[in-house]
Homo-oligomer: A and B are copies of this chain.
Amino acid sequence: MTASTVKAPVCVLGLGLIGGSVLRAAAAAGREAFGYNRSADGVNAAVADGFDATTELETALSRAAQTGALIVIAVPVPALPMLLAPIGRLAPECPLTDVTSVKGAVLEAITTAGLQARFVGGHPMAGTAHSGWPAGHAELFQGAPWVISVDDHVDPQVFSTVLQLILDCGSVAVPARSEEHDAAAAAISHLPHLLAEALAVTAADVPLAFALAAGSFRDGTRVAGTAPDLVRAMCEANWQRLLPALDRAIALLADARDSLSASDSVAELVNHGHAARTRYDNFPRSEIVTVVVGADDWRRELAAAGRAGGVIRSALPTRDSR
């Protein structure tokens, strides 16, 4: 591991909630950090808060190329394509990551653009119901899981560079293959959004419901406060993985409905749900310390460890540092 790799500057493209928080967290960790945002609003807000930001994509990318910066793509999936050609033209050698909630679709776009050799995808599992630069803060990722891709193409040096950013942001890294990430994200992030929307719509039609709504409704609909465009972007980009999760949830609810109607009982769903939540509460976390990045089979080992609850809390040795 070379010092220049670890301390590469960070160039964040997109200064919304997540990108804006990455910029702040990287700067707070003592790293050179600068950002680009398409709209002047985000840039002005970032500059007013003392950060280094521009609306000029070419300026940001040229600076990234000159300084060997790690480029962090932090735009919604639909906005991705318009960034990739300029990156390929102006900063093709820079290590590249993203913070998007869907990994398969991003990897596909990156591969189509010919940028996969320097790309290691990422996804911080953190957020709020709010969006935009003002909603972000440097502590957003503290203690949160942050997925780092270990797909077959992943380069050890780029992996270590991205891992260092994740750790600098205060997160724990969870290694995962893109398609496994997407199936999991469908179940634990995209499906909850749709359930929250359905709950909000159902209650809105019942007189007195909002007058009485308290904890379980507020929690159950919190993510329905997320901007619709963001919810659509992540659900629709991951529709192939979301469909089976949605089908499963509908089937469980339909079975409970039939049982409630036929015998007044929701025992099966309630007992299974409680058991599943209890398993989640007791899900074992362990620290991954023995894998050497770049050694034989390292990606497969990391994927298996991540699946079993393993997280990375400090830099791993890499083969060329031994």
State whether A193 touches B216 (Cβ < 8 A).
yes
Residues of B within 8 A of A198 (CB): 195, 249, 252-253, 256, 269, 273
A265 CB contact (under 8 Å) in B194, B205, B227, B236? B236
Is A201 at the interface (CB under 8 A from chain B)?
Answer: yes
State whether B306 touches A214 (Cβ < 8 A).
no
Is A50 at the interface (CB under 8 A from chain B)?
Answer: no
By beta carbon, the residue of chain B nearest A306 is B211
Least CB distance from A246 to B in Å reads: 5
State whether B208 touches A181 (Cβ < 8 A).
yes
State whether A253 touches B249 (Cβ < 8 A).
yes
State whether B183 touches A206 (Cβ < 8 A).
yes
Is A248 at the interface (CB under 8 A from chain B)?
Answer: yes
Docked complex Cα distance between A245 and B256 (Å)? 13
Is A296 at the interface (CB under 8 A from chain B)?
Answer: no
Residues of B within 8 A of A30 (CB): none
Stretch from A19-27, A31-39, A161-169, A218-226 forming part of the interface with B:
A218-226
Given known A220-B192, A225-B274, A232-B267, contact A309–B249 (CB-CB < 8 A): no
Docked complex Cα distance between A218 and B198 (Å)? 18
Is A127 at the interface (CB under 8 A from chain B)?
Answer: yes
Residues of B within 8 A of A322 (CB): none
Quick one: which of A189-245 are within 8 Å of B by CB? 189, 191-217, 219-228, 231-232, 235-236, 239, 242-243, 245
By beta carbon, the residue of chain B nearest A269 is B197
By beta carbon, the residue of chain B nearest A195 is B195
A187 CB contact (under 8 Å) in B186, B209, B219? B209
Given known A246-B257, A267-B232, A271-B228, contact A279–B204 (CB-CB < 8 A): yes
A212 CB contact (under 8 Å) in B185, B225, B276? B185
State whether A242 touches B260 (Cβ < 8 A).
yes
Given known A199-B249, A201-B252, contact A208–B180 (CB-CB < 8 A): yes
Residues of B within 8 A of A213 (CB): 125, 188, 280
Is A261 at the interface (CB under 8 A from chain B)?
Answer: yes
State whether A276 touches B204 (Cβ < 8 A).
yes
Q: Which residues of A contact B (CB under 8 A)?
A: 125-127, 144-145, 147, 174, 176, 180-181, 183-189, 191-217, 219-228, 231-232, 235-236, 239, 242-243, 245-250, 252-254, 256-257, 260-261, 264-267, 269-274, 276-281, 283, 306-309
Q: Given contacts A195-B220, A232-B270, could you give 14 more A-B pairs where the C-beta distance is less than 8 Å?
A: A125-B215, A183-B206, A183-B208, A187-B202, A187-B206, A189-B217, A200-B274, A204-B276, A215-B223, A219-B220, A220-B223, A224-B276, A224-B277, A250-B257
Q: List 11 A-B contacts (CB under 8 A).
A: A127-B215, A184-B203, A193-B216, A194-B269, A197-B277, A208-B306, A221-B276, A224-B277, A246-B257, A246-B260, A250-B254
